[in-house]
A = this chain, B = another copy of it.
Amino acid sequence: MDTNLRYTLVLRVYGDEKIFGPGIAELLEHVEELHSLRKATAAMGMAYSKAWSIVKNAERALGFPLLVSTVGGKGGGSATLTERGKRFLSAYRRFESIVHGYADEIFEELFGEDAE
């Protein structure tokens, strides 16, 4: 084979519709770091309105809030993750990490000599 092979794995969580995936996970991590949804979207180059609706849809589907916000003020107030939001994000990252670890082994077995 002319090329080294690698793979990507994307996990998304659904209820009736999509709830959670790599995008919202990254967004919430930025919120945790920057304490602001607006700064988090800026860091990702994502439209604020899009981020807002992704979070609201996820919250509605999950039945609990992911973010607590304080509105207003210069810079648009601050935002942090709720405890349940933190737990959900953490479960998603753990899910990714465990499945990825296993997939690494299987990829090596199946695509062995061509895998990077």
Contacts and interface: CB of A to CB of B under 8 A. Distances in A.
Interface of A: 1-16, 19, 61-64, 91, 94-95, 98-99, 102-103, 106-107, 110-111
B9 A10 contact: yes
Which secondary structure dominates chain A's binding surface? mixed
Contacts of A11: 7-9, 103
A87 to B, nearest CB: 10
11 contacts: A1-B64, A2-B15, A5-B14, A6-B14, A7-B12, A8-B11, A9-B10, A91-B110, A94-B110, A95-B103, A98-B106
Given A2-B61, A5-B13, A8-B14, A91 B111 contact: yes
A7 B3 contact: no
A61 B7 CA distance: 14
